[in-house]
A and B are shown apart, each in its own frame.
Chain A
Amino acid sequence: MFATEALTSGWFLENAWLIPLIPTVAFFVILGFGKRMPQGGSEVGIASMMASLVLAAGATYQWIQRVQSVEGGSEGALGAIRGFAGSALPSAAETGHSAAYVEPVIRHWTWWQSGGIEFTLGQHIDGLAIMVLLVVTFISLLVQVYSTEYVKGDRRYTHFFAALTLFSAGMLIMVLAESMVQFILGWEIMGLTSFLLIGHWWEDGANSRAALKAFFTVRVGDMGLLVGTAIIYFGASQWAQARGSNGFSIQAISGWALSEGADSKVLMWGAVALFIACIGKSGQFPLHTWLPDAMAGPTPVSSLLHSSTMVVAGVYLVARLYPVFFVGLDILDTGVNLVAVIGGITIIIAAALAFVQNDIKKVLAYSTVSQLGYMMMGLGVGAWTPAVFHIFTHAFFKCCLFLAAGSISHSGSHHSFDMKKDMGGLRKFMPITFATWMVSTFALCGVPFFSGFFSKDEIIDNANHNGYTVFFYVGLIGAAMTAAYMTRATYLTFFGQPRGAAAGEHHDAHDPAHAHGEEHALDEIEEHEHVAEPVLVGAAVAATQGDDGHGHGGGHDDHGHGDDGHDAHAGPHESPWRITVPLMILGTLAVFSGYLNAPAVGTEYFTEWVEPAGVVVGAEHDESGAATHTDTEEPEAFASGVFGRATPLLAAEDGEATHSGGEGCGFEGPTEGVCYAPALSHAEFKWINTVPSILLVAFGALTSLWLCLGIFGDRKNPFKGLTQRNRLAGAGHRFLVNKYYLDDLYEKVIVHSVAHPIAKAAYWVNQNIIDGVVNGAGRSTKRTGEWVYRNIDQRVVDGAVNASGLVASETGHALQPVQSGKVNQYGALLFGAAAVGAIVLVLLNV
């Protein structure tokens, strides 16, 4: 109809389904032939990720072309819906000043059908999918390169890469998903591979337990996914089938959710069910406890799965099916909604917990949880684009932080993650790691001009803009806390005096068990020092065994590479290039990725390329459409038109709403045509709005630094000798003097009365109550199982069966005396029965 003129497509867009397919194939190749390959299969994994990255990049380029083709060439036109048929026929248009709805590139193939229900596989490529595809392939590639060094010599090197590749494939399948079934497929593949990867060093029971817990917790959420999908399917089915699609299609679901006929109750239950899945997967309160435990996995795994990809799957689901949540949970309609509340709680809780961690990876894990809370909250307050943008920036800097942590343990702290025991002062030994860490930390904390600033601040800003004042403050407090705990971690790791392993020491003195293992490992290492090939299982296992002595923490990456070329005696040093290069790339991105959508400097590419326009498409009878009508003739009524019942909230913001929306996509379904996304407004960027957050960040960082210096600066470190104290020089001396009143203030006032009790209490609550509930749920389920089995199954049900047998047998026993063996009695019985029978029957018959 109008379509032909506008949208461009291209080979990369049309064939985006190849992106997950390549790693899937690679997985089987690695599994089948990996062990026989010179690099143990890692080359296949890396190559596949590279190929996917290239495809994703190509698709991204073409998508941008496509978006621009709309904006450039089809002013005022309205498209017809053609997308369902699976071709990429362009059909959207834009009206007035708003962005047009850019028809996603959808292709699908029937997977199977039965009983009138069709399951399809395919691709649904829009800005969101493209963005995540790019991030996932990119991060995966870097992590795989990093891993070649990090897990070198591991006894299951090949399996590791196979699982890593499959993981990426799963994520990509999910991202591309055209239907909910495909979404579930990818989602579950990720769940499985995360189980394998977290439990990679399963010789240690703690690791496999963590893997189990991760999978199980996520699986609890998956229940919601299954149920939610079912609810949504049947809700949307009729609407979708009338338009030649089916109720699994993500596009159809989106359209249905915003249509007039959608049953709000169905939507609500569907959204709640799906959100439960998100809570599980994205580590939101109260199902967040699996995430820190999952740090038991190798660091690259943590970096890939638990920072930048898998855990954002939940956020992605909300973003993907935003119309469902938007309408179902009344986002923007009421002052409070489930998504925002959970997100907000998560931000604060997780940030508080990050304070009291000694394990560097756990700090990062809680930080991830907290950041996911930001994303969730962003989605909950209607800040779709900033939230999605935060996915983007967070992926880079959090990945970088994890890899840096890995780098530290790999080369700096002798496979320990304990900041207090084995780190400190590492900046001197590991400059690259330090630099990238610092950059990423700044990004994470939201220091201006680093990427996190642009995304996180936008979320906070939009919360305020959309009238969610409470969440605005939550965001601000969260920002301050983030700055504070990251400063603490940074200080402990890179500043101060080297301690423990970082000081080149070993634990012989204080940990005999560990020492034994260490020696064992060392023996092995010395024995095989000059053997070139890393596949020395024995050494690896020896190291593993040695590690059993470590009682603390969950994450000990010292498995499996007893002789990876560096001398354990040599103390901390910088990591090899395969670790540092990814770090540097990511560090660079941590700085610059934010500028893609930095209103401060005038870029709004995300809004342009990624955000789907909340406009009505397919109102066929009138080219200018009802939407234009609303916009042009009744500007005053805009807010109520767009947000329906949201008027009170948005009244203040009237007129501020900028460039998208305006087509009546919101709670009131369009009478004509279809909406695929709710119309959203963006807060206009003003520097003044960022001031509170910048100040708070600064406040948090400085307070924390001050406290850190006070506490950890130089006092009673058991490993510190006099020489080291002398080397402190002037600056150190000043701290020494200052510490007295700092100590008093900090320990007596703040620590003992405020900070510690609160954080500790939070941690206690977390470990004992929330985690206790999660674990307890598991345990009590098992107990229930045992009880039911023992009492109901074995006693009642089975007992009834056996008892009936016994009754039969005992009746037989009771009847045996009748057979007395005496003829007279037999005769009496015979005649007695005859007589009774005769009497009764005579009475009956005569």
Chain B
Amino acid sequence: MDYSNNALLTIGTFLPLVGVLIMMFIPGSEERTHKQIAIVTSGLTLAVGIYTLIQFDYGNSATLQFAVNEEWISVIKSNYIVGLDGISLPLYVLSMAVTFLVAIYTWNNVPDAGNPKAFLMLMLVLQVGMAGSFVAQDLILFFVFFELVLLPMYFMIGVWGGEDRQYASLKFFLYTMFGSALMLVAFLALFFQTGAESFSFEHLMSAGALIDHDVQVWIFAGMFVGFAVKVPMFPFHTWLPDAHTQAPTQGSVILAAILLKLGTYGFVRIALPMLPMGAHEWAPVIGILAVIGIIYGALGCLAQTDMKRLIAFSSVAHMGFVMLGISTLTTFGINAALFGMVAHGLITGMLFFVAGSVKHRYHTLEIKRLSGMLIQMPKMGWILGFAAMASLGLPGLAGFWGEFPAILSAYNPGFGLNPTLFRTLMVVAALGTVLAAGYLLWLYQRTAFGEPNPEFVSHGEPAHSLSAAGNEDHHDEIHDVSVVEWIAWTPFLLAIVVFGVYPQLMFKVLDPAVVQLVERVGNGIP
């Protein structure tokens, strides 16, 4: 491989730490300064990310670019290898963008617990972990970044979260720990089975395929648990609704938009190409669990009385589609999965933003009590509607291109996987889209339509008044989308439309890399 030793990715990954260091030496009372630093830092990081986007050679997206290979921990033969290809690029940049926008959103939406200094510092550390995971090309390095996100998220949920935050955060933490412990064991087993020569992806991908069939299956099992917890797949999902519901808005957005993707990314980047036979054996299991997740998540949604928890459960369902795409082991399915990851990130992120803002205004997310949002804050209502529509997979919006191709790909799974099984899965998954429509529209109908709940009307914009001007005293209570929110949300909304209208933007980048990946998998399956 050509290691240009270009520092671009290193800078892009670690730049937020500079902000963290600066913030560390500024007293916490200067909240404004902290917010400014955080926004500037994440903005600069995003700028680096955009520069990376510009510099990226799109004709060559199957090969690693900006690759660096430096000695790191020679004792365990792990090197500092980073690089970017078509699979990583969208997620890498997405993580930067999301962090930046979330930082902006924080400007006047600091969660109740206060202390923006610590909050923003954690967020920046989180960004390092996320970006790093997407560029790491060494298993140990990946693991370090993968784990780096744990603590900041734990604190984000635990300190700035809702009422049950402590339980939720601990659950999140332990679940993920459990997954990563087994994952680490699997990583090491992989390392030794490939001759204990190197942890670099490149080596493991070429050597991993040669491992005995049975051993591959076992190692894959370990990785499966690790990544499945993160995704999360049924039945490892129970941390997610709690974590999402309790997390502060920013935490939920980051969790939905990026963190969950670490799991699916791990499957695509690590588990599949390194253990092709293992993947082949496990694919039906993954497919079945994915589809169970789709239905189960949807059923879970229908049972919810809390808006945020509903959105959280919908993540289980949506990630099911992503996993279904991956389990087909086809180029098309994996492409769809990768697209679905980004789309889900944008859409669910957006939904969490709205939920956060609704909570901020009404101080409740109980679906029963919310009603008539379109009257009290029409713009917010429409944004919610838009995001809900995108989430239920309306063609022309980003969500559809993750869902429909995933379903499509299940008709014809790759490498001799049982087509009957996958076709059944396809039909069940299609049922999932119906349920998705059901719960999202139900949510929308209950919250946005109808008359505003009287308990909020007296504070907010009067629904029936001709002389709205006379009630301005109360307007600060329930107001429509604010400027800061617009700034933070517009890119999300635009991206949902742009990727929905012109998905080629992303598929063009993904496709060559995915083709190469599936070829690798194919080569490894006798």
Contacts and interface: CB of A to CB of B under 8 A. Distances in A.
Pairs of residues from A and B, 8 with the lowest C-beta to C-beta distance, nearest first = A785-B302, A115-B331, A115-B332, A112-B504, A538-B466, A789-B303, A202-B449, A785-B299
A537 B433 contact: no
A465 B405 CA distance: 43
Contacts of B442: 212, 782
B502 to A, nearest CB: 7
Interface stretch (B124-132, B190-198, B388-396, B483-491): B388-396
Contacts of A226: 404, 407-408, 430, 433
A244 interface: no
Interface size class of A (residues with CB under 8 A): 35 or more
Given A790-B303, A793-B238, A115 B450 contact: no
B303 A781 contact: no
A649 B69 CA distance: 76
Contacts of A805: 174
Contacts of B14: none
Nearest to B385: A196
B426 interface: yes
A174 to B, nearest CB: 11
A816 interface: no
Contact of A114 (B335, B400, B437): B335
Nearest to B335: A114
Contacts of B405: 114, 117
Interface string B405-429: 1011111100000000000001100
A116 B332 contact: yes
B334 A203 contact: no
B335 A541 contact: no
A215 B503 contact: no
B463 A541 contact: yes
Nearest to A280: B434
A220 interface: yes
A112 B437 contact: no
Interface in A202-226: 202-205, 207-209, 211-212, 215-216, 219-220, 222-224, 226
A229 B408 contact: yes
Nearest to B408: A230
Interface stretch (B18-26, B104-112, B279-287, B507-515): B507-515
A801 B238 contact: yes
Interface stretch (A4-12, A132-140, A187-195, A486-494): A187-195
Contacts of A222: 433-434
B155 interface: no
B464 interface: yes
A538 to B, nearest CB: 4
Nearest to B515: A115
B502 A115 contact: no
Contacts of B339: 114
Contact of B411 (A199, A216, A230): A230
Given A114-B405, A115-B331, A223 B503 contact: no
29 contacts: A110-B504, A111-B502, A112-B504, A114-B339, A114-B405, A114-B507, A115-B331, A115-B332, A115-B511, A184-B404, A185-B396, A202-B449, A203-B372, A212-B442, A215-B441, A216-B434, A216-B438, A216-B441, A223-B431, A226-B407, A230-B411, A233-B408, A541-B463, A785-B299, A788-B296, A788-B300, A789-B304, A793-B300, A798-B238
A220 B434 CA distance: 6
A660 interface: no
B450 A785 contact: no
Given A111-B503, A117-B332, A797-B235, A230 B445 contact: no
Interface string B300-320: 111110000000000000000
Contacts of B175: 801
A219 B434 contact: yes
Contacts of B514: 114-115
A113 B300 contact: no
Nearest to A187: B395
Given A112-B502, A116-B332, A185-B396, A199 B427 contact: no
A219 B332 contact: no
Contacts of B296: 788, 792-793
A113 B507 contact: yes
Nearest to B508: A112
B238 A114 contact: no
Given A222-B433, A788-B299, A790-B303, 20 more contacts: A112-B502, A114-B336, A114-B514, A115-B332, A115-B409, A115-B511, A117-B405, A119-B503, A185-B395, A188-B395, A192-B389, A203-B372, A212-B442, A216-B441, A219-B434, A222-B434, A223-B434, A226-B408, A226-B433, A230-B410
Contacts of B301: 785
Contact of B334 (A115, A234, A537, A788): A115
Contact of A778 (B389, B394, B438): B438
B171 interface: yes
